[in-house]
Amino acid sequence: MSLPSQLDQVFVLLQHWVAGLFPVWLQPFVATVLAVVGIVASFPAIFAVTTVLERKGLGRIQNRLGPNRVGPLGILQPVADGIKSLTKEDIVPFTADGLVHFLAPVVLVVAVFLGFAVLPIGRNMVLANMDAGLLFFFAIGASTELSVFMAGWSSRNKYSLLGAMRAVAQMISYEVPLLLSATVIVMMTGSLSTVKIVEAQGGFTGFLPHWYVFTPWGFAGFVLFVIAALAETNRSPFDLPEGESELVAGYFTEYSGFKFALFFLGEYLGMFSIAGFAITLFLGGWGAPFSFLGFVPSWGWFFLKLLGAIALFIWLRGTLPRLRQDQLMNFAWKFMLPMTLLNLVVAGAWRFMGEGPFGGVTRWLVCSAVLLAAYVLLGRVLMRHQKLGPRSYRYAE
């Protein structure tokens, strides 16, 4: 094997080598455990790096330095945070439902980790190559709502419950556009397997890759998917369930110490997994962005893209103010849903125009025009009744 391909497969080879030390009947088990350990170790490490990057990035966006006290340039801040959250007192409210209160963060983290099982991190690097990997991911992703509601309900706290209600309403509303925007990919690939989806985007025209984001329906799908993913992970500007100015901390108001840290971890891991899926579905997964960059290991590309996605999420968080509940719901049902449905139609048209005489440039123009026109029109209609400007208060003065 040549050096680049050895480097590409370094983790796979390592796994095989370690598993080879065990008796044959144990080997599949050991290999799986090794892969799980890899996932459970690497993504929380990225979480630690992300917390400090996010705080520093948000600081820079607000013309501050961000954390700069622990270690050089503050890069050891996650260590300090970790020690702090581990040594803090774990307070459970007197009237809380102890068992559910304890289970909620565990359920969240477990569900989020399960989502990584079907995520192709590199060539031959997927824990479970399921035929219905995408379906599995969305099913598991939806179960995080359960833990959120468990946390909110068991805390016996009005803020927690309000936060949980908001979270459930928001997650269910945005689950629909999230799924529909991903359905386009399934239609085009003809498979629910994440590995097959990445492989389908593997080709190059000249030096440009065949990523789905470089098609009209793929681009629209990507934008819609990212918006829905932001809402699904409770990230700003969709952070209503934990809006600190309204609900203290939302559904995890009554959590402290390590359980709070688990919620925090679960939230960020959820963001990574959904960003990983956005990459898998639209950005070519672990594929290189240019044909001449193929020598870089595939997992390197995946993590680079993941860092890019995280940076985008941080950038958006630093820019956008929080939506109001009605704006959130209006946006989900009046904009996201029609756009995703239209995108399905456009993707179908793209598929069949490619076979007919309207292939090439024509289908590009037609599909782009339809999507753009719908976007502009929907925007106009939605903004028509918007009264922007200072609010007037009739009763409170």
Residue with smaller CB distance to other proteins, 235 or 259: 235
Tell me which residue of 133, 114, 123, 129 sits closest to 13, measured CA to CA: 123
CA 81 to chain centre: 23
Is position 63 an interface residue for other proteins (rule: CB under 8 A)? Answer: yes
Do strands 208-209 and 204-205 pair parallel, antiparallel, or not at all (unpaired)? antiparallel
| Interaction of residue 37 with other proteins, rule CB under 8 A | no
Q: Which residues contact 197 (CB under 8 A, 6 or more apart)?
A: 134, 185, 189, 191, 280, 281, 285
**Residue 316 in contact with other proteins, rule: CB under 8 A:** yes
Query: Least distance (Å) from other proteins to the CB of residue 257?
Result: 23
Q: How many residues in the chain?
A: 397
Tokens of 349: 């048209």
Least Cβ distance, residue 338 to other proteins (angstroms): 13
Least CB distance to other proteins at residue 68 (A):
8
CB of 64 to other proteins, least distance (A): 5
307 binds other proteins (CB under 8 A): no
Judged by CB under 8 A, does residue 378 bind other proteins?
Answer: yes
Query: Binding pattern to other proteins, positions 320-359, x when CB under 8 A?
Result: x--------------x------------------------
Tell whether residue 110 is a contact of other proteins (CB under 8 A): no
Stretch touching other proteins by CB under 8 A, among 70-78, 85-93, 129-137, 317-325: 317-325
- CB closer to other proteins out of 29 and 315: 315
Q: Is 65 in the site for other proteins (CB under 8 A)?
A: yes
Amino acid in the structure at residue 167 = A
Buried/exposed 8-46: b ≥16 CB within 10 Å, e otherwise: bbebbeebeeebeeeeeeeeeebbeebbeebbeebbbeb
With CB under 8 A as the rule, give the number of residues binding other proteins: 21
- CB of 2 or CB of 62, closer to other proteins: 62
Q: Which long-range contacts (CB under 8 A, 24 or more apart) does 326-333 make?
A: 328/170, 328/173, 328/231, 328/238, 328/240, 329/169, 329/173, 330/382, 332/170, 332/173, 332/174, 332/176, 332/177, 332/231, 333/173
Is residue 60 part of the contact set for other proteins (CB under 8 A)? yes
Rule CB under 8 A: choose which of 38, 71, 93, 318 binds other proteins.
Answer: 318
When asked if residue 382 is in the footprint of other proteins (CB under 8 A), the reply is yes
User: Contact residues for other proteins (CB under 8 A)?
Assistant: 57, 60-65, 68, 315-316, 318-320, 335, 375-376, 378-380, 382-383
